[in-house]
Amino acid sequence: MLSADERLRFNVKFVQIEVTSDQSVNAARDTIEAAEGRLDSLVNNAGITGGVSLTDEDSVEVSIATIQDTINTNFIGTVRVCNTFLPILHKASGTPTILNISGDTASNRQISLAPTPMFFTPYNASKAAVNSYTITLAVYLKDAGFKINAATPGFTSTKLTGNRGKPAINGALASLPWVVLGEDGPNGKFFAEDGKTEPEW
The catalytic residues are 123
If one counts every other C-beta atom within 10 angstroms of the C-beta of residue 45, the result is 14
Three state DSSP letters for 84-141:
HHHHHHCCCCCCCEEEEECCHHHCHHHHHHCCCCCCHHHHHHHHHHHHHHHHHHHHHC
Query: Which among 71, 64, 67 has a CA at the least distance from the CA of 19?
Result: 71
